[in-house]
Amino acid sequence: MNRNILIIALVAILGGGAAFFAMSGGGAKQVEVAPQAQAEAETETVAETSEAAVSEITEMTLGNPDAPVKVVEYASFTCSHCGAFHREGFKELKANYIDTGKVHFTYREVYFDRAALWASMVARCGGEEKFFGITDLIYKGQRDWMGGGDPVQMADGLRKIARVAGL
């Protein structure tokens, strides 16, 4: 019987200690922040993050920014359909619409795999002045530099394109 009373007393003491610890915030001091101040701080953080992310990405564009039609292409350097478009149809779009000031064209990369990211990095290494020329080289040689999907072969193929582009 003494043993049962001892166990009940021990459980009561531990339970009371746990309740006190939980009620006091676990030993950490809690600081009350006014809802408005907290909202302002969160807004500033989001704005700073958004500005930093946007300012680091350079839009690759062609044509008159004031053109009446805006075309945004989302493409992957490893997509065979994107490659076919750039090898076959893009020249007409550029000659008939972009160069005449009817269309402002924006190219945005999509990375479905690491090879597309590598190709994009090579294209962007030339800066805004060389980007579309390097893009043409990448799409023209897409079948060659992608080869059988071997990462070493892809990297070597992209290095060759970079050398041809003067990088």
Domain residue ranges of the chain, discontinuous segments joined by +? 1-30, 60-164
Whether 151 shows a pLDDT value over 90: the answer reads: no
Angle between helices 151-164 and 127-140 (to 10 degrees): 130
Taking the C-alpha atoms of residue 100 and residue 62, their distance in angstroms, rounded to an integer, is: 11
Taking the C-alpha atoms of residue 115 and residue 159, their distance in angstroms, rounded to an integer, is: 12
Q: How confident is the model over 12-41, as a mean pLDDT?
A: 53
Q: How confident is the model over 30-37, as a mean pLDDT?
A: 54
Whether 143 shows a pLDDT value over 60: the answer reads: yes
Per the model's pLDDT, the better-predicted residue between 135 and 24 turns out to be: 135
Whether 6 shows a pLDDT value over 50: the answer reads: no
Query: How confident is the model over 39-95, as pLDDT tens digits?
Result: 565 656 555 655 555 557 788 999 999 999 999 999 999 999 999 999 999 999 999
pLDDT at 31: 46
Given the candidates 3.40.710.10, 3.90.25.10, 3.40.30.10, 2.60.40.420, the CATH classification of the domain at 60-164 is: 3.40.30.10
